[in-house]
Every structure is written in structure tokens, then in C-alpha cells.
Amino acid sequence: MDLAVLLVYAAPIALAALGELISQKSGVINIGLEGMMLLGAFFGMLAAYLTGSPWLGLGLGVSVGIAASLASGWFCISLGADQVVVGTAVNLFALGLTGSLFRARFGASGQLLSLPKLPQFFGIDPVILLMIASIPAVWWLLAKTGWGLVVRSAGEYPKATEAAGFSVNKFRFQAVAIGGAFAGLAGAYLSIGVAGSFAENMTNGRGFIAIAMVTFGRWKPLFVFLAAVLIGFFDSLQYLLQAKGVQVPSQLMLALPYVVALLVLVIVGKGTSAPASLGVAYRRED
Amino acid sequence: MIRAFGTFAGLLLIVALTLALFGLPVGHSLSLMAQGAFGDKLAITRTLVKTIPLTITGMGIVVAWRAGMYNIGGEGQFVAGGLAGCLIATPLRDSAVPAWIAVLLILAASVVGGGLWGGIAGWLKNRRGVDVVISTILLNFIAIQLLAWLVAGPLRDVKSGLPLTPELPEGMMLPRFDRQTDLHAGIFVAVLAVAVVYVFLYLTKAGFRTRLVGAGESAARANRIDADRVRANAMLISGALCGLAGGVEYAGVAGQLGTSFAQGWGFLAIPVALLGGLHPIWVFLSALYFGALFAGSRSLAGFTDQGTTLIYIIQAAAVLGLIGLRAVGGKRRIQAEVA
């Protein structure tokens, strides 16, 4: 298969996973990633459809992703609510909101839209370039900057972060917002760049797969990206095999990415590379 | 009592707000929904039929989450239960086994199927440290695709052109109250599940251990409880209950499996269980409430395309509202203690 095509298929999962990585490094697991992608996909589609500009579509997708992550952050970080509970609610909310708005605007029958396309440079669109550039960027941000150091410490041992004079919650909010921006972009790219249309629940588990890929990639940007590309490969394998005339039940091929993701997690196990305070809200003792 | 009334009023407010936000006439929509949920015998049975799977899967969620196992896989376990029920129904159909035993065997198989699917996640957590949230989500998708493959291929009814399994004969279905309505004996299974989970959690040693493990690792360790084993058992029971819900839906309503068998009851049970505070009795009431909302939303379909998708928003808003209220209440308590 053409590498450029493979990258396009893998991009939504890869982008979402890179954002989730930053969020998780700060100690916040964003189970609502799927919902944030869906919001990005819907509002990105809406802006691109109404204005005719794919750029405004991507822009609105990113903005909605950030807004959703800040709202979810208010519950998880400020209120210290359980991150799995909040994430589950975010997913349900996004599913209901995008479904209702889509039906209200385009009818319940599921209209096929044609969205404006992104420009291509040498057969690659700018979002793919941005994705490739963000692999070293995310690594540099987390490993080499002072900001990254504080974020990582907030995910490992927040008491020490606070003792050093930094606000754990402030840095968690920033990390979560960056994660939300990536999720929104991933969703908007899914509707505008990959599908060229929108359908109800079109993310179809990609957000969840992205969360699994962060674990699979051991919280390292390059590995997380490669993991997402591997899943993208298995995702596109059905078309490849069909083209070669190999008879495999299509439903089993559709299950393949999930089976591979699960098997990989079974093989690598949890290990010790997870941030020590992942999923634990920080309450200041004052 | 005041709390229950407050919750009910709050939920009603969220429903009204959601309807208003989508530009629907609030009063008219509410009365239509009430009509669709309680208006006549047909409406009430419709509400109860939707309450049954919500209650049983809700009980499954309660057991797992009380043990600290975030089982998001109710949907996959529901499907696995339905599939197991269907698998055992195939040889029973032409056998001499009395029909009522066949029904019980279908339900038993669904318990095993769901328990197996949930048990995998528990096993993966203990042996390989795979996060339950992630493994159960992946297992959902695997179960749904497995269902799609089985109904299109091996389990398909050769006489029909559609990807559906053969219909269960009337005698092998759960008995119905009368011929006009869909209400079936599964309502007793649901009530029984509530009672069993209540007794398990609050009146048995194993249930006490489950709640202790969920409350915190250190408390469990201090009491020399093998937390891993308790968690694995909780996932088994949770999966078994969600699977049972699948079996009841198969033998009570559907009668055959198709891709539409996975209707999302296992997902929707999570907010239902959360709004019920993970307490069996309250979760039952919460399931009744949402059963009524789902039944009522069908009457909305007459003049708007939304309907069921609006319920997702209502559920999510209700969960977030509850979290917000609880957090504000909790903060006040902490401040009061300090003062």
C-alpha cells in the first residue's frame, strides 16, 4: 500500500494519541477522547460545509476540542471528579449532541455531504506534514523544556511539583488543552481530510484505540506514532486483501485492529512507564 | 426522600432545558413524552420493556464499579450473552427438551457467555496489568464484529436473505403477560437481579470485601483481602449480569439476533448506574426513569428527527450535574471540617 495513503488513514488515531500522550503525562487520562474527536469531526465538517473553507473547518475543530477539554478539565482537575466517569459522560454528550445537531440540520436519513478538500503538496496534505512535525515537537516539548519537566512531574509526583512552587492544576489544564486541540484536529481531519463527509458516530472507536496506543507506545511520541500507523495498517488491510482477491469475512477484518491492539497490550503488559499519578486528581492540602 | 425529589426535579429540568435548546416546544414535548411513557397500558409496558435491560446491565456495572473495576464493556458482555444464548438455542430447538427448561438453559448460557467476556478483562488486569477501561472497550468492538460475522455467516437463517439468526419458537421465549403487549417475564429476572446484587453487596462477606477493595487498596490490604481475586470475581459477576441482560433481551424481545442486537444498553447502563449512586435500589429507579425517557422519546419522533440522541445529552448532562453538585457539596464539607 502507498505510504501516503496509509498515513492519511492512520492520521486521526495518531494525532489523537499524540495529544492524549501529553494529557496523560500530566496525570490526566482523557477517556472522553472519542467524544472530543467526534465534536471536532462534526463542527469541523459544519464550518467547512458552510464556509467552503477546509481551513476554517480544521480551525473550528481545534477550537471545539480545546473548549471540550477545558470543560472536562474543570470536572476532573478543578473538582477532582473521577476521570473515567467524566470521560464517559463527555463521550455520551458528544454522541448525543453531534447526532441531534446533524439530524436537525441534515435530516435523519444520513445525507452524504461533499466537503471542500485540503490542498496537497507533493501528494501530501498539510495536516500530514503537521502530524510528522509534531512527533519531534511533542518529544522536545516534554523532554527538553522547563514546561515539559513540570508537566511530567505533575503526572509523577504532584506533591513535589506543588512544593517546588508550581500549580499542578494549572499545568494539568494546559496539558489537557493541548490534548483537546489534537483531538479536535484529529476529528476534523477525519471528516474533512479522510472521509470528505460526516456520519453519526463516525469516529467509531478511534478515540479509544488512540488511548490504547499511548499505552502500547510506552508514552514515547515516536513509538505512539508508530503504534498508530500499525493500527492504521491493519485498518486498511481489508481493502488491500479485497483488492488482491483474498476471501476473508469483512466483519472479522473490521475486528482486527481491536484484536491487535488488545493482543499488543497483553504482550507488553503495563510495565512501569506509566505516569505514577495517572488518573489521580490532585487536591491541595490547605 | 428530599434528595430523591431533588434529583427527580433536577432531571426534569435538564430534560426541559435540552428540549428548549433544540427549539422544541417544551410543554408539548413533555406531555407527548409522558403520554408515550405512561399514557396507557401499551406505553407503560413499553417503558418496562426498556427498563429490563437497563436494570440488569446496570446491576452488572454496579458490581464491577463498586470493586473499583471500571467496566465499560457492558455492551460487549451483553452481546456475548446473547450470542451464547443463541448458540445453545440452536441444538435445543429440535430436541425433546421441554421448552421451559430450554429457556432456562438459554439464560444460563448467556450468564456464562457474558461472564467469560467480562472475565477476560479481569484476568488481563491481574495477569498482564492491562487497564480494564481499555480492555473492556476493545472487547466491546470485538464482540460487536463477532456478532456481525456470526449472524451473517455461521448462525444465519438460511431461509431468510437477511443477516439474521432463525427465530426462536414461541415456546422457547420468555412468557409474555398478554398478546397485545411486549412485556415479558424478564421483568422478574430484573427485579431478582436487583435483590441478588443488594444481598450480595450488603449482606454477604464477599460483597463486603468487594466494597472494601473498591474503597481503597490500603483498607483491603489491612484486612488481608486478596484484592486481585476480589476484582477478578467482580468482573466475572459483572460480565455474567450484563450477559444475562443479553440473554433476556434475546429470549424476551428479539427472538433472533442481527447486527441491531447491540443497541447500546451496555453503554447506557453506565450513566444509569452512576445516577443511581451505584446502589442497587437507586439504580433500579434510575433505570425506570431512563426506561420511561426512552419509551417517551419515541413519541417525539413524530415531529422531530432527534428523539433518542437527545436522551444521550440528557443522560450526560445529568451525570455531569450530579458530579458538580457532589463536588460542591464535598468541598463545603471539607471546609466545614477545617473550620
Are the CB atoms for A259 and B136 separated by under 8 Å?
no
- A170-174, B129-133, B290-294, range with greatest mean pLDDT: A170-174
Give the pLDDT confidence score for residue A246 in this predicted structure. 72
Taking CA–CA distances from B70, the nearest residue in chain A reads: A84
DSSP string across B167-186: PPPGGGSPPBS-SSS--BTH
Give the pLDDT confidence score for residue A280 in this predicted structure. 82
Q: How confident is the model at residue B29 (pLDDT cuts 50, 70, 90)?
A: confident
Cβ of A84 within 8 Å of Cβ of B133? The answer is yes
Q: How confident is the model at residue B334 (pLDDT cuts 50, 70, 90)?
A: very low
**Residue (of A163, A127, A168) closest to A151 by Cα position:** A168
Complex prediction ipTM: 0.84
Q: With 50 as the cut, is the pLDDT of residue B335 above it?
A: no
Taking CA–CA distances from B308, the nearest residue in chain A reads: A96
Give the pLDDT confidence score for residue A258 in this predicted structure. 86
DSSP string across A135-158: HHHHHHHHHHSHHHHHHHHHHH-H
Dump pLDDT digits (tens) for B12-21.
888 888 888 8
What average pLDDT does the segment B49-58 reach? 96
A108 touches chain B (CB under 8 A): yes
Are the CB atoms for B129 and B251 separated by under 8 Å?
no
Cβ of B271 within 8 Å of Cβ of A103? The answer is no
Cβ-Cβ contacts under 8 Å, B265 against chain A: none
What average pLDDT does the segment A104-128 reach? 79
Task: Considering only the beta carbons, identify the residue of A79, A84, A262 that sits closest to B138.
Answer: A262
What average pLDDT does the segment A180-189 reach? 97
Cell 455531569: give the residue: B320
Q: With 80 as the cut, is the pLDDT of residue B215 above it?
A: yes
Across A9-23, A171-185, A250-264, B321-335, least confident range: B321-335
Across all residues in chain B, what is the average pLDDT? 88
Give the pLDDT confidence score for residue B337 in this predicted structure. 44
Residues 6+ apart with CB under 8 A from B38: B44, B47, B292
Give the pLDDT confidence score for residue A110 in this predicted structure. 61
Give the pLDDT confidence score for residue B63 in this predicted structure. 97
Are the CB atoms for B15 and B259 separated by under 8 Å?
no
Residues of B with CB under 8 A from a CB of A: 22, 70, 72, 124, 128-131, 133-135, 137-139, 141-142, 145-146, 148-149, 152-153, 267, 270-271, 274, 304-306, 309-317, 319-320, 323-324, 326-328
Cβ of B146 within 8 Å of Cβ of A258? The answer is no
Residue A167 dihedral angles phi and psi, to the nearest 5°: -85, 115
Burial of B328 (0-12, 13-18, 19+ CB in 10 A): exposed
Cβ-Cβ contacts under 8 Å, B305 against chain A: 103-104, 107-108
**Residue (of B217, B300, B308, B290) closest to B52 by Cα position:** B290
**Measured between CA atoms, how close is A99 to chain B, in angstroms?**
6
Cα distance between residue B228 and residue A185, in whole Å: 39
Give the pLDDT confidence score for residue B269 in this predicted structure. 92
Above pLDDT 70, what percent of chain A? 96
**Measured between CA atoms, how close is B177 to chain A, in angstroms?**
34
Are the CB atoms for A32 and A203 separated by under 8 Å?
no
Residues 6+ apart with CB under 8 A from B271: A88, A89, A92, B290, B315, B316, B318, B319
Give the pLDDT confidence score for residue B209 in this predicted structure. 92
Cβ-Cβ contacts under 8 Å, B271 against chain A: 88-89, 92
Cβ of A258 within 8 Å of Cβ of B145? The answer is yes
Across all residues in chain A, what is the average pLDDT? 88
Cβ of A270 within 8 Å of Cβ of B124? The answer is no
A222 touches chain B (CB under 8 A): no
CA of residue B80 relative to chain centroid, distance: 13
Cα distance between residue A63 and residue A81, in whole Å: 24
Cα distance between residue A252 and residue A254, in whole Å: 5
Q: How many helices (H) and strands (E) does chain B have?
A: 13, 0
A97 touches chain B (CB under 8 A): yes
**Residue (of A13, A134, A42, A31) closest to A73 by Cα position:** A31
Cα distance between residue B224 and residue A275, in whole Å: 28
Taking CA–CA distances from B143, the nearest residue in chain A reads: A255
Are the CB atoms for A135 and A225 separated by under 8 Å?
yes
Q: With 70 as the cut, is the pLDDT of residue B1 above it?
A: no
Neighbours of B246 (CB within 10 A): 39
Q: With 80 as the cut, is the pLDDT of residue B105 above it?
A: yes
**Residue (of A72, A39, A86, A264) closest to A175 by Cα position:** A72
Give the pLDDT confidence score for residue B317 in this predicted structure. 87
Cα distance between residue A101 and residue B326, in whole Å: 30
Dump pLDDT digits (tens) for B229-273.
999 999 999 999 999 999 999 999 988 999 889 888 998 899 999
**Residue (of A128, A148, A158, A167) closest to A21 by Cα position:** A148
Cβ-Cβ contacts under 8 Å, B319 against chain A: 85, 88-89, 92
Q: With 50 as the cut, is the pLDDT of residue B338 above it?
A: no
DSSP string across B129-161: ---HHHHHHHHHHHHHHHHHHHHHTTT--TTSS
Cβ of A89 within 8 Å of Cβ of B320? The answer is yes
Cβ of A96 within 8 Å of Cβ of B141? The answer is no
Assigned C-alpha cell, A161: 511539583
Cα distance between residue A134 and residue A94, in whole Å: 26
Cβ-Cβ contacts under 8 Å, A89 against chain B: 271, 315-316, 319-320, 323
What average pLDDT does the segment A38-55 reach? 94
Dump pLDDT digits (tens) for A202-253.
988 899 889 988 988 889 999 999 999 988 888 777 777 777 777 777 778 8
Cβ of A265 within 8 Å of Cβ of B128? The answer is yes
A88 touches chain B (CB under 8 A): yes
Neighbours of A133 (CB within 10 A): 10
**Rg of the Cα atoms in chain A:** 19
Dump pLDDT digits (tens) for B268-306.
899 999 888 899 999 999 999 889 988 888 777 666 666
What average pLDDT does the segment A133-149 reach? 95
Q: With 70 as the cut, is the pLDDT of residue A200 above it?
A: yes
Assigned C-alpha cell, A13: 488515531
- Determine the residue among B142, B263, B268, B338 to mutate to test chain A binding: the one whose Cβ has the most chain A Cβ atoms within 10 Å: B142
Dump pLDDT digits (tens) for B74-103.
999 999 999 999 999 988 888 888 888 999
Residue A121 dihedral angles phi and psi, to the nearest 5°: -115, 115
Cα distance between residue B296 and residue B314, in whole Å: 13
Give the pLDDT confidence score for residue B339 in this predicted structure. 39
**Measured between CA atoms, how close is B8 to chain A, in angstroms?**
19
Q: With 50 as the cut, is the pLDDT of residue B213 above it?
A: yes
Cα distance between residue A16 and residue A22, in whole Å: 10
Taking CA–CA distances from A81, the nearest residue in chain B reads: B323
Give the pLDDT confidence score for residue A270 in this predicted structure. 62
What average pLDDT does the segment A167-179 reach? 95
What's the pTM? 0.89
Between B323 and B256, name the one with better pLDDT. Answer: B256
Cβ-Cβ contacts under 8 Å, A205 against chain B: 137, 141
Cβ of B141 within 8 Å of Cβ of A265? The answer is no
Give the pLDDT confidence score for residue A223 in this predicted structure. 93
User: CA–CA distance from B48 to each of A227, B9, B74, B190, B249 (Å)?
Assistant: 45, 21, 20, 10, 12
